[in-house]
Structure 1
Amino acid sequence: MLIRRVSILAVTMLAFSSTIALAKPTLLLRQVIAQSPLSVPHPNGGKSGGWLKDLNLTSQQLQQIKEIHNQSKQQIAQKSQEIRQGQQELHDLITGTATKEQVRGKYNQIELVKQQLTDTQFENTLAIREILNPEQRQKFADRMYKKNVRPNPPPAAQHN
């Protein structure tokens, strides 16, 4: 009985850790895509524009980004909900009496939806990229990858 509990715990940990690890690359894209062009300051004043303000976008570019965001907003929300629901179902299968094949099937189903979500987010990034000039593209790329790059840890002190 103890072995069974330990096995279930190990499988659960692996399933959820791989889910988190696989989801992490999409977090940055989701953050970039989910930024609302509406937060860009209006000529009369207003909120700080964040990454969009940093790009010095024209009003036409802002409108195009807003359209890109609006076109995929529902699809992204639906896929995100499917993933959350699938993860709950996977948890229930792992803790229940489901067969290994049922658990694996649910896991594969979740991974497929995650890939679809990532593809949609990537397509949005490409669409935004297409409306930017070279200088804006550089700032866009720097902003996207800045948060994922961690500084190298200082070298360990050498003891002779």
Structure 2
Amino acid sequence: MLKKSLTTLLLFSTLSSLAVVLPTFAGPADGGIGWGAKVENLNLTPEQRQNLQAVRQRYQSQMEQTRAQLRTAKDELRRLMASNASDEEIRAKHAQVQQLQQKLATLRFESMLATRKILTPEQRQALAERMQNRQGQRRLER
């Protein structure tokens, strides 16, 4: 029971990192860097590759649009903080930033769920291990 719980926890924490991986599914023509080492050795079938590309395309424009809105809202918030704006104006802009961050997080989560359905349990586990190793490397680089 404990082993199953730990495995489930590890899988969930890794899948939450999967949103970071999704943009790498883009090919060079799409502005991405290709599949990358993260999915290179997962033995994806051609159908899985096609399905992953479809997931990326489905969420990419929404995520890019939301990121652009978020950048604009954050810039506006910084300007308001430096100006003589009222507390209410600043609070309203802060609320907008939070809403956009939540929208982006939801889009990432939904894309992770869609991606999860495409991978086999073994592929999910292998990806989870790679993502965990990648997170460890990032911590060492800091």
TM-score, normalising length: structure 1: 0.66
* Structure with more helix by fraction: 2
The whole-number CA distance in structure 2 between the counterparts of 1:150 and 1:36 is: 21
Distance 1:101 1:148, change over 3 A: farther
Question: Equivalent of 1:94, from 57, 61, 81?
Answer: 81
Q: For residues 47-74 of structure 1, give each alpha carbon's deviation from its aligned partner in whole angstroms, at most 9, with x where no partner exists.
A: 8842121211000000000000001111
AA at the equivalent of 1:141 = A
SS of the residue 1:55 aligns to: coil
User: 1:134 offset after TM fit, Å?
Assistant: 1.1
Offset of residue 139 of structure 1: 1.3
Correspondence 1:127 to 2:114: yes
1:150 is displaced (CA, Å) by 6.9
What pairs up with 1:9-28 in 2 under 5 angstroms?
A: 28=17
Task: Determine what percentage of the aligned residue pairs are the same residue.
Answer: 31
Moved over 6 A (4+): 150-153
Q: TM-score, normalised by structure 2?
A: 0.74
From the superposition, tell whether residues 29 and 115 of structure 1 become closer, same or farther in structure 2 (CA, over 3 Å). farther
Asked which structure has the greater CA Rg, the reply is 1
- Distance of 2:138 and 2:77 partners within structure 1: 36
Gaps of 5+ in 1: 1-26, 40-46, 154-160
Deviation at 1:100, TM superposition (A): 1.0
CA distance in 2, matches of 1:60, 1:101: 52
Structure 2 residue aligned with 1:84: 71
| 1:6-62 deviation line (CA, Å, top 9, x unaligned) | xxxxxxxxxxxxxxxxxxxxx9544311012537xxxxxxx8842121211000000
Q: What residue identity is the alignment partner of 2:65? A: Q
SS in 2 for 1:138: helix
Which protein has greater RCO, CA pairs closer than 8 Å, 6+ apart? Answer: 2
CA distance in 2, matches of 1:152, 1:120: 26
Match of 1:110 among 97, 113, 118: 97
Q: Give the alignment partner of residue 41 of structure 2, picking from 54, 72, 76.
A: 54
- 111 and 71 in structure 1: CA distance in 2 versus 1, 3 angstrom threshold: same
Partner of residue 64 from structure 1, selected from 44, 48, 51: 51
Asked if the contact 1:37/1:65 (under 8 Å) is kept, the reply is: no
